[in-house]
Each structure stands twice: as C-alpha cells, then as structure tokens.
Structure 1
Amino acid sequence: MSASLFLLREPLLDPARKVIAHELRWQAGAQSGEDADSVALGLLLAAELHRGDEGWLLADGKLVLPVGPAFFESAAVQMLPGAAFMLTLEEGAAIKPDALAAARAAGFHVALRGLDIDSALQPLLSGYELDGAASDLAAQLKRAMAQRAPGARIAVRNIAAWKHYDVCAGAGLDVYAGRLIDAPAPAQAARGLNPSQTVILQLMNLVGRNADVRELEGVLKRDAAISYKLFRYINSVGFGLGAEITSLRHAVSMLGYSTLYRWLSLLLATASTGAHAAALMQTAIIRGRFTELLGHYLLPKGDAENLFVAGMFSLLDRLLGIPMEDVLTQIQLSEALSQALTKRAGIYGPFLALAESCERSDGNSQGCADALFLSAEQVNAAHLAALAWAQNLKL
C-alpha cells in the first residue's frame, strides 16, 4: 500500500522559533500510526536517507515519525539512527515495555500523542503532544507537566496563528508549524525588503540581464556579509568543482549566470530577519529544491533551475509581508515564473502545486502527481532528497 502513498512534511518549532525537527508521515489515505504503514515509512527513510559510506544524509537533522507498536519490533529500528528520531505513539497503543525500553536504549526518543499511558511507561517517554484546538488544553497542559519525566518536552499541534504560537512559546512549548506557513505574518513584523535584500535583488536583476561581472562586483561590495553567505551556501553542498568558490568572478566562471541566479534567490529568502521567518525560510529552501528535483523527471536543466527559483520565491510574500503581486513589481521574472507564483499555472505551476501539497494534511498530492504523470515513489524520493539537501546547507 505504501507504494501509492505520499509523504507529508511538517516543521516543529521550539520556543525560540528555531526549526528543531520535521515530522514525516503519510498523507490522507493512511492513518500515520497504523503498524504496516509506519513500518513501511521507516523502511523508506532507511533506504532513501542512508547511503553506504555517506552514512545518514540529514547531517544533524532530526525527524519525528508517527508509529504503531509493530514498528518497535521491525527491521526499521535496526536500520535507522535512533538519535535522529522522535517516535510518536497514539495514546492507548499496546506497546510492550521491553520494546519501548529497547528503542530508548538504541537512542530513539519516544513521545505520546495524548496523556493516557501505563504509569510504568511514563519514565520512558521523551515528551507529549497535545491538540492546540482542544477546549481543555489548559487542563491537559497542567497534567502533562505534572506527569512528564525530567527533560521531557511538550509539543502542541493545530496552532493556526502566530499570536497563538507566541503564547505557546511563552509557556516553553514546542509547536508543529504546518498551519503557520500559510498564516499572515505577525502584526509587528517588518514589511518589505530590508537593506541586504535590496542589494541581493539588484544583483539578481543584473544577473538576469547578463550584466558584466564588474557591474555585479560593484553592487556586491556594498554588503560584505552577502558575499560571505553566498559562497558559504555554494560551497556547503558541493558541486564536484575541485575548488572552493571564493569570489563572484570565480562563481560566474565555474557555475554560470543561471546557476548563480538560483543561489541568489536562496540568499534573498534567507536574508529575512523577521522573528517568524525561520520556519518560512526552511520551508522555502526545501520547496525550492523539491520543485527542482520534480522538474528533473520531465524538463530540461534550465527549466528545472527555474523551478528552484519558483519554489524559493513562493513564500516571499509571507517573508516580506506584502502581496505577491507587489513582490513581482520589484524583480524581473519571466512570464512563466510569474504565472507559477501568482496562479500556480503555466509550465512551472503544477510542479510548485505538487510540492506545496506535500506540506498540507488536506493536500491532493495524488491528483497533482497524476497531472504530471509522476508516481508516489518518484515524488517521495525527490521530497526526501530535497530535505537532505536543505539539512546540509550551511545557513
């Protein structure tokens, strides 16, 4: 059954608004904690995110994985690096104490979605998950704090507004931020481009019209930090170039203008300084790479690079706090990119829509994939490769 299921990704934020993990589960069509499907998910992650001598591809990235009791006695437990995972159980799950203890000994953290569990198992739990939409949330929170083991964390789901996140953060709670990605920016958030983004945008417009490198260098000199970040990003993921990129002229000669443009698009999104920007930036990076990798199945390299830009720019309106139409008045983009960003239309729109659908519990990934004649296997492989790429990027 898992061969026809699509992965769903959701970031987990700590009280400091830092992305500390991503939850991966199956989208609608399977209950995430069902034994067979949770085992299949674990085996998929072991296959896609562990490569021989390269080891675990997520670097120090953490994953949250909803599982059922059978997961603890499956091969996935031996195949996955326990320290990289938080396994979440539904309350009432018939888990064997020795199986839970063995998972903890292997480095896995285990959280309970709910509060009711055998008291003998409570010391083995690393945390609890609560429903932020529950009418008795305050009572649940009080109970969770009373029964949790020292150091155990509490996370809250279904938080749909940044002001509610702030309340949770003030109480020391982690928050699953999937619904916050599409939420309006906080009222106090800065609007429009900051000085660094203005410089980056000027560079992008120059690169877009193939301006002389000396003209680019003149703009780049206005902000030394931009050069540092740009070269760090490029060098962190590697291109088999045999040498480290140390100057703009070197970058142009080794990569070309189109590849430089995609890196500047990443730099533009990650230059946001708003307090709410961390989850949006991480999502934009994964979305950009995911959309690009989807394009590799069907489109020429140049179009795939444009898909990276489409994914990166798809959250600029949220990051900048202004409508997408206003964003597009400040940057020179092709009609195909503009159609994708405003209407999810044109040649690039369906790829972007598919990547976005994999971030939403109610997303129609099956329909989006069918429209592009892509299988769940292809989409999931691209999704995990994009996540690994983003985790290895030195932000």
Structure 2
Amino acid sequence: MKYSYIARQPILNKEKQTVGYELLFRDGPQNTFPEIDPEQATSRLLSDHFLSTHYEALGDKLGFVNFPYQSLINRVPTLFPSGNLVVEILEDCAPTAELLEAVKEMAKLGYKIALDDFIPSKEWKAFLPYISIIKFDIRQVSIEKAAMFIMRLSGTNIEFIAEKVETYEEFEQARTAGFQYFQGYFFSKPEMITRKSLEPSFMAVVQLITEISKENINYAAIESLISKDVTLSYKLLSFVNASSIVRTKIHSFKQALVYLGEDKLRKFISLVAIASTQNSKPDYLYGLSIQRARYCELVGAKLDQKLESGQAFLTGMFSLLDSLLDRPLEQIVEEISVDDSVKDAIISHQGALGDILALTVAYEKAEWDEVNGYCNKLALDQETLSECYDESVKWTAELLSVKTN
C-alpha cells in the first residue's frame, strides 16, 4: 500500500513570518490506515517523506509531526534529528506514566514536545515541565479560556500556538491573549477591502506573467517590459549573475534573457511577482502563490484534456491576488489581460482550470474527501497528486533560495 497524501500547513509568528510547518500524512481520502498499523504507517511515512522532500523543503523551519501513542512509547521520534522536529502528542493519547517517561527522555535528548489540540486537565500537569509548546484549537477552547491558562503558565518557558485561526480579527485576538504562534488560513484571506490601484511595477509583473504563459514566448515584449522598470531590471541582472551557469557578468537584458532560457525566465518572473506586493504580507503567502501556480501547472499537464500551456500556472498564481492586494478578485481580473477561462476558474472555479484550482486548495488544507472527489472527476490517481505536490514544494523552495534583492 503506497501512502500518497502529504500536505503541509504553515505556522506563523506575531509578525506573520513562517516559523514552521505541520506535516500532515494520510493514506488516502478516508483519513485512515485500513491495511496497516497506525504506528507502522507513521514510521514509514516519516522515513519516506520527512527525511526526503519535506525535510529538504523545511530549510531552517520547524517541522511539526503528529505521533500516535505507541510511536511515542517506542521513541520513534528519536530516529529523526532533533534540530527542526517538533514532536506533537495527539489529543487522543492518554497521559500515562509510561508516556511521561518517554516524554522526559525525549525532552532530555533535546526534542521539542508539543501538546496538540490541548484541553487543560490536572492529568497533564506532570508533563508540563517537559513541554515546549501547547496548541489550542480555538474552535474547541475559546481564546478567552486559553488566555486564562496562558496567564497561569506565564512563569514557564512554554509557548502557545492558536490553531484554526481563520480571520484577521481572530489573529489579533489570539495575539493579544498571549499566543506566540498561529496556524490557520487567516493569512490567505484579504485583510481589508481598499480601493488601492495596481501600481505600475506590479502591473508590469502581471503583464510579464501573461507573456510567459504563452505557447511561444515573445522575448522582445519581455525585454521591453523589463527595460521600463528599474527594479525589475536590477532584479533580473542580479538573478542571472547569481546563477551557476553564468561564467562572466551579464550587462544587457537581451543577454540575460538568452542565458536564462524559458524555464529560468519563468522562475525569475514568478519570484519577482511575489516580491512586488506589500511588505506587510505574510512571507508564506508569496511562496504559496508560486507553489500553487507550479502545482496547478503540473496537475494540468497530467490531464487527458488538452489545456493551453501556462494557463494552469496563471490560474494558480493569480488565485491569491485578492490577499496580496487587499481587493476583490472580481475587480483585479478585470484590470489584467488574461483568458476568460482563467478568469472563470479564479472567480468561480469553473471549467477544467477551476477544478484544478479547487483540487489544489483542498490539497493545501488537507481536505482529503474533497481531494478524492476531484481525483475522480479529473481521472487522476493519488500517487500523481503526491508527486506533483512534492515537486511544487521543492521547486518553490529552490526558487526562494535565490537572492534577488
């Protein structure tokens, strides 16, 4: 049995910077492990994925991983480096003496231990000296109740994560209540609706992305757009000169474009796109727009239905413009020159592109039943989705490791 479904969800700090990811492993849309013991499944999934693609993609971020009871008793987490692993004790684990011994031992070895979906009770009191992080699901424990518990533990080194934070209001309330970290989809929704217009530099980026989505790239048009924007010009030359393929310094736009080629040009323009919005935005939101674009593109290429090259990439890239610009998507897409099929997919998830985008969003949120439904509709298998997701994560991590400013 191959366990294909893997997703990761970001954990942000008070400044909305990504500090880690919760890595979510499932065998399929049923969210269960029907043919294998959960402990064995966890171990296998960790060895298959945490030490390969996702470990590599974590970089200097923490990886939060759920461990079932027996895995903890068997000290399975100690098979992995302690540096960026956070061991999450699942909410259905009983606070037994043998679990306490395991927690003590792992904490002594330098592992960060977290209590997941925590509901305060006296049975867990003995564990607290060995716990680094407590996660409250604010749908189960209100922010007000959590705040009282946080206050009682204010003299300890325990840090707190608010889970299921869906709005900026909840983010602000949780931050005021004493939470240091936040998990949820508040970062991918517009903070407020304003009448801010598209700035010239961002408009140029939109035009560039439209150009690279075409079947035959028009290098003259791209050179013309880049040459009119000082920031883009500087970033292009910096990007090319930082590339390992360059033997001598590049000084002209035309020379730079020739060196880059189509694939690297797409990477460069994608990277500039995410860096051309407000500095106050969560860093993960920029990365997510790139990852989503790449994932949509990869999934689109697997369909029997022939899609125009680059359209799926555009759909993913532009699907978060409302959050990046704090404006309704309906307004934004009217101001940019993209195909109606892309507009319909972004606004109302219509057509094949809309199905790909809906599948992508469901995968990001680990909504496996939804994922399975779109799998069937698009005639895709789990393994294909997993491979596409892994590749999009790695592609984005590689892209963001290039310094362009």
* 1:4-83 to 2 correspondences below 5 Å: 6-26=5-25, 29-30=30-31, 36-37=37-38, 40-41=41-42, 43-51=44-52, 56-72=56-72, 77-83=77-83
Question: Who is 2:104 aligned against?
Answer: 101
Tell me, what secondary structure is at the counterpart of 2:391?
helix
Q: Give the direction of change, closer, same or farther, for the CA distance of 1:56–1:276 in structure 2 (3 Å limit).
A: closer
| CA–CA separation in structure 1 for the residues paired with 2:343 and 2:124 | 55
Q: Deviations over 1:233-283 (max 9, x none)?
A: 6788x7x85769956434432444576346424422332115344342232
Task: Answer whether contact 1:7 1:380 (CA < 8 A) is retained.
Answer: yes
**Residue 65 of structure 1: SS of its match in structure 2?**
strand
Matched position secondary structure for 1:60: coil
How has the CA–CA distance of structure 1 residues 92 and 210 changed in structure 2, closer, same or farther, with 3 Å as cutoff? closer
1:11–1:279 contact (8 Å) kept in structure 2: yes
1:385 and 1:342 map into 2 onto residues whose CA distance is: 26
Percent identity over the alignment is 21
Question: Structure 1 residues 83, 384: closer, same or farther in 2, change over 3 A?
Answer: farther
Give the distance between the partners of 1:146 and 1:297, measured in 2 at CA.
53
**Counterparts of 1:103 and 1:244 in 2: how far apart (Å)?**
51
Name the residue aligned to 2:390: 384
Cα displacement string for residues 35-93 of structure 1 (whole angstroms, at most 9, x for unaligned residues) = 954753453243235359x9834322322222222223568535533322222223462
Deviates more, 1:134-143 or 1:201-210: 201-210
Q: Compared with structure 1, are the counterparts of its residues 99 and 283 closer, same or farther at alpha carbon in structure 2 (3 Å cutoff)?
A: same
Contact 1:161-1:183 within 8 A present in 2 as well: yes
1:284 equivalent in alignment to 2:280: no
Residues of 1 paired with 2:141 and 2:80: CA distance? 37
Partner of 1:144: 150
CA contact (8 A) 2:171 2:182 kept: no
Map 1:126-145 onto structure 2 (within 5 A): 126-134=132-140, 136-145=142-151
In 2 relative to 1, CA 369–58 (structure 1 residues): closer, same or farther, beyond 3 Å? Answer: same
Q: 2:42 and 2:236 mapped to 1: Cα distance?
A: 35
Which residue of structure 1 lines up, in the alignment, with residue 325 of structure 2? 320
SS in 1 for 2:165: coil
Deviation at 1:175, TM superposition (A): 4.5
Distance 1:325-1:262 versus aligned 2 partners, 3 A rule: farther
Over 3 Å counting, the alpha-carbon distance change for 1:92 and 1:78 in structure 2 is closer
Does the Cα contact within 8 Å between 1:317 and 1:323 map onto a contact in 2? yes
* Paired residue total: 387
Cα deviation for residue 284 of structure 1 reads 1.5
C-alpha distance in 1 between matches for 2:65 and 2:110: 14
After superposition, the Cα gap between the structure-2 partners of 1:167 and 1:194, relative to the gap in structure 1 and judged at 3 Å, is: farther
Matched, 1:180 2:186: yes
CA contact (8 A) 1:14 1:169 kept: no
Q: CA contact under 8 A between 1:185 and 1:276: conserved in structure 2?
A: no
Give secondary structure in 2 for the equivalent of 1:119: helix
Q: What's the CA shift for 1:149? A: 7.2
Secondary structure of 1:273's counterpart equals coil
51 and 151 in structure 1: CA distance in 2 versus 1, 3 angstrom threshold: same
C-alpha separation between the residues in 1 aligned to 2:353 and 2:249?
30
Alpha-carbon distance in 2 for matches of 1:263, 1:330: 23
RMSD of Structure 2 on Structure 1 (CA): 3.9
Does residue 270 of the first structure (1) align with residue 275 of the second (2)? yes
Unaligned residue ranges in structure 2 (runs of 5+): none
Q: SS of 1:185's equivalent?
A: coil
1:115-168 Cα deviation digits (max 9, x unpaired):
345433212111111122356532332323433774431011222211221232
Aligned counterparts of 1:199 and 1:223: Cα–Cα separation in 2? 8
Is the CA contact (8 Å cut-off) linking 1:369 and 1:376 kept in structure 2? Answer: yes
Moved more, 287-296 or 10-19: 287-296
Taking structure 2 as the reference length, the TM-score comes to 0.78
Q: Which amino acid aligns with 1:29?
A: Q
Residues 159, 175 of structure 1: 8 Å contact kept: no
Assess, with a 3 A threshold, how the Cα gap between structure 1 residues 162 and 30 changes in structure 2: closer, same or farther. Answer: same
Asked if 1 retains the 8 angstrom alpha-carbon contact of 2:202 and 2:276, the reply is: yes
- Matched residue SS, 1:99: helix
Unpaired runs of 5+ in structure 1?
A: none
Among 113, 117, 129, the residue aligned to 1:123: 129
Deviation at 1:308, TM superposition (A): 2.8
- Tell me the secondary structure at the aligned position of residue 333 of structure 1: coil
Is 1:122–1:149's contact at 8 Å kept on the other side of the alignment? no
SS at match of 1:283: helix
> Closer, same or farther in 2 for the Cα pair 1:176/1:347, shift >3 Å?
same
| Among candidates 185, 196, 213, match of residue 201 of structure 2 | 196
* Contact 2:17–2:282 under 8 Å retained in 1: no
